[in-house]
Amino acid sequence: MPGTAIQRLVRQSPQKMRLVADLIRGKDVNEAYAILKFNKKLAARQIEKTLKSAVSNAEQLALRDNEAFDVDALYVSKAMVDMGQPLKRFTAAAQGRATPIRKRTSHVTIHVATKGSN
């Protein structure tokens, strides 16, 4: 049973989030949880929350359709990190000028599916 979760406007740059998302793409859900739990990067927490939500969504979809559900049969079929809208700030610069600061945000999308279906 496929499941999807999207977390929007995560306050971390997409470049840093993609490093962690690449680690779990194509892995079993239990193996992905282990990778994220022991990863030192802050992005691992946000991606773990999204993965947990995707598994829960798959479980709820299976319950609604009255189908069998096994967490061990799930794997991460897609893990995407897209750029969100940056927060625009300014800081003081020399001679009364202001220089822009772009605080980047991310959109995390995770799809889980069973091994037999894509």
pLDDT score for 116: 75
In a 3-state reduction of DSSP, which class is residue 77? Answer: strand
Q: Which domains does the chain have, with CATH numbers?
A: 3-114 (3.90.470.10)
Q: Is the pLDDT of residue 21 over 70?
A: yes
Show the 3-state SS of 19-51: HHHHHHCCCEHHHHHHHHHCCCCCHHHHHHHHH
Kindly report, residue by residue over 53-100, the tens digit of the pLDDT: 999 999 999 999 999 999 999 999 999 999 999 999 999 999 999 999
Binning pLDDT at 50, 70 and 90, where does residue 118 land? low
pLDDT score for 115: 85
Question: What CA–CA distance (Å, rounded) separates 69 from 55?
Answer: 10
By DSSP bridging, strand 74-83 and strand 3-10 are: unpaired
